[in-house]
Amino acid sequence: MILRKISLLLARADLFCLVDKAKWGYGTIKESMVKQKVRKFAYGSRLLAALVLSIVIVGGTAGLVRADQFDEQIRSLQEQNASNRQTANQLAVQASSYQDAVDRLSLQINSIRQAILDYQHQSDQLQQQIEVQQTELDREKKVLGQNIKTMYLEGQISTLEILAASKDLSEFVDKQQYRNSVQSKVKATYDKITELKLELQQKQREIQSLIKDQQAQQAQLDASLNQQNQLLSYTESQKAGYDSQIKANNSQIAALRAAQLAANNRLGGSVEPGDPGHGGYPAQWDRAPQDSLLDSWGMLNRECVSYTAWKVFEAYGYMPYWGGVGNANQWPANAQAAGIPTGSTPKVGSVAISMGGAFGHSMWVEAVNGNIIRVSQYNFDLAGHYSEMTVNGSGFIYIYFGQ
């Protein structure tokens, strides 16, 4: 009979573990049901009491596991973002280095291309000079051809015949000098033509060699540039992937925070700025950007749990260190595990926990009037601001640190 009642009690405890996902008063209902069962079966045995106590502990642990799982999801996304940002920054540095190399290579290639154009221009000019000289040589050859023909015809006449045909000795000398002059001119013109052609051809070969050297350098630089561009493209593609993952993670976190804000807003009540001194929250945490510092309990600054942890410490001189596990919906289970009482009755100087949303929300109870409570809090707006609120306190779980 006792075993049957124990099974029934376990089944009802499991049922309330499922109900806690949909109701605010999970901790209170569960605690009440357990106490009812303990009273009902107090005449049983100490074994039954031990089993009931174990149900309480297991139920609290289940709540912590669910919170831890969610908290781990958020932490995992944040850690991924931190790692991805570090990798993306490293890739950005690499991309910058590759871009610098690309820029330098581009400058060198442009310089070589300009040099090739300059050399090609010189080569074109030399070619024009060669063509001009060739035209001149062709004209000279024609003139020389006529002179050589004349000399040949005159060469058929002997010196005596030239002398006989001359009017006097002076005319004979003039004719002989003319022949000698034509011969010298033929040789000089030929030598000049040969020398000029060789000179122009040598310059042309030098220019063409320079052009080939420049083209070979350009080919090497083009290959290096192509390699650097591939590295740059690959690096930028990797960085884009990490940036995309960071953006996706931030979207998930934003969606979770939006859901939490919606849950906070469903609490209703009248929210106002309240105390200009922000409830005494230390200035070094209050003035720093939200989530940029860890407080004395490993929680991020300007979060609701950081503020209530400070208020507990300020009021009672102590605050348990829960290893930086900071979600508000984890506090009831953490408190139970630490032997700190919890309940459903609001009391001044207690911490009120809303289990709604992904994170839950913690508030410091300033005043109580029946079920209406006055609280101070941080980050109700999910923007890290201090505020005060008058709200119906029914359905909250209260942690009594001072008891």
pLDDT digits (tens, 9 = 90+) for 149-184: 665 555 555 555 655 666 655 665 565 666 667 667
Task: Report residue 208's pLDDT band, with 50, 70 and 90 as the boundaries.
Answer: confident
Q: What is the pTM assigned to this prediction?
A: 0.45
Backbone angles phi, psi at 73, to 5 degrees: -60, -45
Check if the beta carbon of residue 379 is closer than 8 Å to that of residue 364. no
- Residue 9 CA: distances (Å) to CA of 3, 14, 49, 285: 10, 9, 12, 47
CA dihedral 337, 343, 344, 348 (to 10 degrees): -110
Quote the mean pLDDT of the chain. Answer: 74
- Average pLDDT value for residue range 104-125: 83
Parse the chain into domains and list their residue ranges. Answer: 84-256, 267-403
Task: Return the residue matching tokens 């690309």.
Answer: 102
Check if the beta carbon of residue 353 is closer than 8 Å to that of residue 362. yes
Q: Kindly tell me if the per-residue pLDDT of 303 is higher than 80.
A: yes
Residues above pLDDT 70, as percent of the chain: 67
Contacts of 286 (CB under 8 A, 6+ apart): 278, 301, 302, 386
Q: Kindly tell me if the per-residue pLDDT of 24 is higher than 50.
A: no
Check if the beta carbon of residue 333 is closer than 8 Å to that of residue 67. yes
Residue 170 has a CB neighbour count (10 Å cut-off) of 9
Q: Kindly tell me if the per-residue pLDDT of 347 is higher than 70.
A: yes
pLDDT digits (tens, 9 = 90+) for 213-223: 888 888 888 88
Distance CA 92, CA 236 (A): 7
Q: What is residue 241's three-state secondary structure? A: helix
Pick from 290, 294, 359, 349: nearest CA to 328: 359
Axis crossing angle, helix 46-155 with helix 169-265, rounded to the nearest 10? 170
* Greater model confidence, 159 or 288: 288
Check if the beta carbon of residue 235 is closer than 8 Å to that of residue 94. yes
Which parts of 156-168 fold into alpha helices (H)?
159-165
CATH of 84-256, picked from 1.20.1740, 1.20.58, 1.10.287, 1.20.1070, is: 1.10.287
Pick from 301, 392, 316: nearest CA to 349: 316
Question: Positive or negative CA dihedral for 146, 150, 151, 153?
Answer: positive
What is the predicted pLDDT for the residue at 186?
Answer: 67
**In the numeric block, which tokens belong to residue 168?**
């006097």
H/E segment holding residue 387: strand 386-392
Task: For domain 267-403, give the fold.
Answer: endopeptidase fold (from Nostoc punctiforme) (3.90.1720)
